[in-house]
Amino acid sequence: MAEPAIVIIGAGPAGVRAAATLAKAGRRVVLIDENMRVGGQIYRQPPPGAERAADKLYGFEAAKAVSIHRALDGLAIDYRPETLVWNARGTVLDLTGPRGAERLAFDRLILATGATDRSIPFEGWTLPGVFSLGGAQIALKAQGCAIGRRVVFAGTGPLLPLVAYQYAKAGANVVAVLDTSSFATKLKASPGLLALPKLFAKGVYYLAQLKRRGVPVIEGVEGFAVEGANAPEAISWRRGGETGRIACDAVGAGFGLRSETQLADLLGCGFAFDELTRQWLPMKDADGRASERHIYLAGDGAGIAGADAAELAGERVAWTLLGDLGQAVDAARLVRLDQGLARIARFRRAIEAAYPFPHRFHGAIPDNLIICRCEGVTAGHLRFQVEQREAIEMNRLKAYSRLGMGRCQGRMCASAGAELLSHWREVEPGAVGRLRGQAPVKPVPVAETHPAEAT
């Protein structure tokens, strides 16, 4: 029988562990990633020639980062960096990369596509100089530069104190951290956070270090706005009837992460609405199989759980896949992996409680605010479609307004669109549906959309 074609998309912790497990079991694997080097988001490597010491780049996570960077050394893996999978259907992928446009057939596919920042539009969010939190971190990690000279970090989630700390440690001038989660909310969640005491301790350490450096961390912020004509000049905020304002020239803002799910969608995988994170996620069984049985899901692309969980899940689905191919599986190893994943899932629920997604912010968005920055669609334009044209569901809202029709294909604006629609209709966000996936999932040159036949 011919060797099945196994493809993994994503060379972050999940994809790398999956690839290594399969290769060690004697399977030939194609590993694709649009990045230049393995590592994914958290263990992102600078471009060749711009390397810095691992402890400088990854702090407490340096050993884990190096372990992921080296995990494929000496293994026979067909690794294709700088290659974007921009379309997928059935058992075929469309790629664009250094080899040009290609069509790649597969028998089994592991999706380990990770996550990106989740945004909530606020006044000034489209100004040059306002970055996503992850974007600000990438500037530091990959290029070794800060986003400005007086930087404010705003939003919520565990990345907020981490990125602020990384900037401060690197010598950047962090003038404030504005967290929409209150101290009381975090305190209430702390028993659950103690499920993983080391991770909890790191969070406390980052906050203590910010305090030691004199960076004001303002918690329980109820809204903020960036002022400036062509670039940020100041950020103002509200909290419990008070207002504050601080001069700055750059802002990094983020409200947690959202899973990258477009490829699972294009491949026809079933989705379910996750009440906890208010996101639609591809469904998977306990072993990591999607509803389309030749597709497997691992890491943040199947629900945000962090890098340690991604490593475990990557190895876990690789074993599932091997078992499905009739290969022997180490049952004791599976039990250990599942136990590790269950422990992290408990911690993860506490993180969501400590840093709740402030969906109520959408209720305060004024009509003139841009929601879909690719197409310049304002909240008022969306509201008109809902109130006057009965756009009661996301795809109808998209058809009427062009929300999500631009370069990002809704990756940045769909969450806000859905929250606004659910707010105006006074229904849960799960009731307004989700945007259907469309290729290309990211922009590609037109010339590359007519690849050769599948190989």
User: Which residues lie near ligand FAD (CB under 6 A)?
Assistant: 9-15, 32-35, 40-42, 84-85, 112-116, 134, 137-138, 159, 162, 257, 260, 263, 299-301, 306-307, 310, 441
For the beta sheet containing 6-9, the strands, ordered from the edge strand earlier in sequence to the opposite edge, are: 77-80, 29-32, 6-9, 108-111, 295-297
Q: Is the distance from CB of 400 to CB of 417 less than 8 angstroms?
A: no
Q: How far is the CB of 367 from ligand FAD (least distance, A)?
A: 30
Name which of 202 and 381 has its Cβ closer to ligand FAD: 202
Least Å from the CB of residue 311 to ligand FAD = 8
Nearer to ligand FAD, 8 or 432 (CB): 8
CB atoms within 10 A of CB 399: 14
| Min separation Cβ 262 and ligand FAD, Å | 7
CA pair distance 155, 169, nearest whole angstrom: 20
CB nearer to ligand FAD: pick between 14 and 369: 14
In the complex, minimum distance from the CB of residue 301 to ligand FAD, in angstroms, rounded to a whole number: 6
Q: State in angstroms the smallest separation of the CB of 310 from ligand FAD.
A: 3
Residue 171 phi/psi, 5-degree rounding, is 100, 5
Question: Which residue, 93 or 365, has its beta carbon nearer to ligand FAD?
Answer: 93
Nearest distance from residue 378's CB to ligand FAD, in Å? 27
Are 116 and 260 spatial neighbours (Cβ–Cβ below 8 Å)? yes
Q: In whole angstroms, how close is the CB of 97 to ligand FAD at the nearest point? A: 9
Closer residue to ligand FAD (CB): 33 or 352: 33
Question: Which one, 12 or 192, has the nearer CB to ligand FAD?
Answer: 12
Q: In 3D, which of 275, 448, 265 has the Cα closest to residue 352?
A: 275
DSSP state string for 42-73? TTPPPPTT----HHHHHGGGHHHHHHHHHTTT
Say which residues have a Cβ less than 8 Å from residue 276's Cβ, sequence separation at least 6.
Answer: 349, 352
Give the helix/strand (H/E) hosting 85: strand 84-89
Tell me whether residue 40 or residue 155 sits nearer to ligand FAD (CB atom). Answer: 40
CB of 255 vs ligand FAD, minimal distance in Å: 12
Query: Measured from the CB of residue 78, what is the shortest distance to ligand FAD in angstroms?
Result: 14
**Smallest separation, CB 49 to ligand FAD (Å):** 20
Amino acid at 272: A
- DSSP conformation class of 157: S
Written as one letter, the residue type at 45 is: Q
- Measured from the CB atom, the residue of 223 and 299 that comes closer to ligand FAD is 299
CB 101 within 8 A of CB 93: no
Half-sphere exposure of 427 (CA within 13 A, CB side): 11
Burial tier of 311 (Cβ tally within 10 Å: 0-12, 13-18, 19+): buried
Name residues whose C-beta falls within 8 Å of residue 88's C-beta, 6 or more positions apart in sequence: 94, 109, 263, 266, 267, 439
CB atoms within 10 A of CB 376: 12
Q: Could you tell me the smallest distance in angstroms from the CB atom of residue 296 to ligand FAD?
A: 13
Taking the least distance from each CB to ligand FAD, the nearer of 162 and 420 is: 162
Residue at token pair 């089994």: 108
Q: Which is nearer to ligand FAD, 301 or 437 (by Cβ)?
A: 301
d(CA 358, CA 343): 26
The rounded distance, in Å, linking the Cα atoms of 252 and 115 is 17
Among residues 13 and 417, whose Cβ is nearest to ligand FAD? 13
Give strand pairing partners of 80: 32
Secondary-structure percent of the chain, ordered helix, strand, coil, rounded to 5: 40, 20, 40
